[in-house]
Chains A and B, each alone.
Chain A
Amino acid sequence: MGLAFPSHEWIKAYKDAINNNPEYRTGSADWTYGVVALIIKAQLPGLPQDTGIWLDLERGVCRDAKLVTAEEAMKAPFCITGEYARWKQVLKKELEPIKGMMQGKLRLKGDLPTIVRQVKAAEELVNSAGTIDTRFFDE
């Protein structure tokens, strides 16, 4: 039985996965731009309200990761929003997050040029998530 996405347990495992990924550490060594928050839009049954994942990233390290409200998540300098199904596609590597933003499948609040420079880091964040045994509530 995998860890439910999103949940406190999943996010704890995600933080560990990021910090155990040497490719992420190398690929995002110049990330000094603050927190990246992910907002998963509500979907019933299973996710009754919009939910945020707060990732405090600094120079290749995830210093903190926690479940937050969507309102809290919106305070992050970079906030990426998507439907539950879209995040599933990201986690299953069916959707590249930066391309997803430009196609309108995900929404980015924040400075696009800064994100564009982090293609490798974004890939490795996804790869890190891919190492977690994840359970989706709609499967």
Chain B
Amino acid sequence: MDYPDDLSFLFTSPTRIVFGRGSSSDTGVELQGLGCRKALIVTDRFLHEKTDIVARVEKSLGSACAGIFCDVPPDSGVHVINAGADFGRERGADAIVSVGGGSVMDTGKGIALLLREGGSLLDYQGFQVLTRRQTPHICVPTTAGTGSEVTYFAVIKDHEKKRKLIFGDHHIIPDIAILDPALTVALPPILTAATGMDAFSHGLEALSSAQREPISDALGLHAVRLISRALPIAVSNGNDLAARGQMLIAATLAGAAFSNAQVGLIHAIAHVIGARHGVHHGTANSIAMPHVMRFNNDTVAGRYRLVAEAMGVDLRGCSDEAAGLQAAAAVRDFGCRVGLPSSFREVGVPEDDLAACAEAAMSDGAIVYNARPITDPADVLTVMKAAWAGIE
């Protein structure tokens, strides 16, 4: 491992993790442990109306359920959070329970912030602007990907300007994550694959970021290892609770890893492609990953070697450079194996927008931490063109 002699880092991961089949029935007990009396459930309409997942959590909360805010769309916006906070305030909520995927959990973080601080979410743009813990927040993820249940980020779309706003603050890290594999069995294969590759990309980018450090390395590497084994099983047999459970654990590990070591160009590209063209974040990450790995290989080939080893690639006789390229090929094949597209062309990104996307990616916070320093949007455009065509 290539740690410098003057290694220096901060690592923060305060979330209590509750794991197990049926553990969502502990939500009420965990809420009591936080000293709270009334929790607002934040979720989306599909989960509320088409599944029994929200009802299970509501039952666990019993009379401590202050109400259900189910208006969270796939790419949540500032107006949604403002509305959710108004609703929570009306109902006297003193805690948030987010039940859903990344968009729901990030919305929950925003509502938790506004219930404590007041005002509008846009008043808190920036990084680490808060000075105190926010409204207690329990996350019950129903996808295994975003890792938002343990991260200090909330990604909220500015629908007007077609861009994603990134809020980062240690005071919005959720207090408790309840990982119940039974809640993810209904996730369709394509979403299982896309969210799983999102988690994979968190582990990979944390391992290779400019701010990598040993603790996040351990978490990210084990996440890659678990996902390599469990994701194909979870995609082919959604009812396999063991695979679902390993995916939930992997997503949480990878979330803690990147919440500390950060992510890089893969995410900078995916944020822009998602905001401008509506491509699912995990799918965009999956497409961008091998191309960014080739771009970064000169700088962090040894790191990508670790990824390939964790994926079970036979690297005997390979130099680090060759191993890094093999890792990129393995990641590309892995994405295809779980059924995801391998080019931005396939998902409808217009070629004539790539230059604007590359320019926009230069303003994404993730780019600061890319393994290979980037100062020229032409470099990003080269990567994006390759990802658009799907060429190696």
Binding site for B on A (CB under 8 A): 98-99, 101-114, 116-117, 119-120
Contacts and interface: CB of A to CB of B under 8 A. Distances in A.
Nearest to A111: B125
Contact of A108 (B126, B364, B368): B126
A101 B127 CA distance: 6
A102 B125 contact: no
B77 interface: no
A104 B368 contact: no
Contacts of A98: 368
B52 to A, nearest CB: 39
A112 to B, nearest CB: 5
Contacts of B375: 119-120
A107 B131 CA distance: 10
Contacts of B367: 116
B240 to A, nearest CB: 37
27 contacts: A99-B369, A101-B128, A102-B365, A102-B368, A103-B10, A103-B211, A104-B10, A104-B127, A104-B152, A104-B169, A104-B170, A107-B129, A108-B126, A108-B128, A108-B129, A110-B125, A110-B126, A111-B125, A112-B127, A113-B163, A114-B363, A116-B363, A116-B364, A116-B365, A117-B362, A119-B368, A120-B375
A103 B368 CA distance: 12
Central interface residue in B125, B163, B169, by most chain A CB within 10 Å: B125
A138 B335 CA distance: 55
B174 interface: no
A134 B193 CA distance: 55
B355 interface: no
Contacts of B369: 99, 102
Contact of B364 (A101, A109, A111, A113): A113
Closest 8 CB pairs of A and B: A113-B363, A107-B128, A108-B127, A108-B126, A109-B126, A101-B127, A104-B128, A109-B129
Nearest to A103: B10
Contacts of A117: 362-363
Contacts of B163: 113
B262 interface: yes
Nearest to B211: A99
B61 to A, nearest CB: 32
A35 to B, nearest CB: 15
Give the contact-size bracket for chain B: 20 to 34
Contacts of A105: 10
A104 B367 CA distance: 17
Nearest to A105: B10
B166 interface: yes
A123 to B, nearest CB: 11
B236 interface: no
A97 to B, nearest CB: 11
Given A98-B368, A109-B129, A116-B368, A104 B12 contact: yes
B168 interface: yes
Given A101-B127, A112-B168, 17 more contacts: A99-B211, A99-B368, A102-B127, A102-B168, A102-B368, A103-B10, A104-B152, A105-B10, A107-B126, A107-B129, A109-B129, A110-B126, A111-B125, A112-B166, A114-B363, A116-B365, A117-B363
A80 B364 CA distance: 18
Question: Which of A103, A111, A114 has the largest number of chain B CB atoms within 10 A?
Answer: A103
Interface string B111-144: 0000000000000011111000000000000000
Interface string B158-173: 0000010010111000
B153 to A, nearest CB: 10
Contacts of B211: 99, 103
Contacts of A103: 10, 211
Nearest to A118: B363
B128 A112 contact: no
Nearest to B367: A116
B376 to A, nearest CB: 11
Contact of B365 (A104, A110, A113, A120): A113
Contacts of B126: 107-112
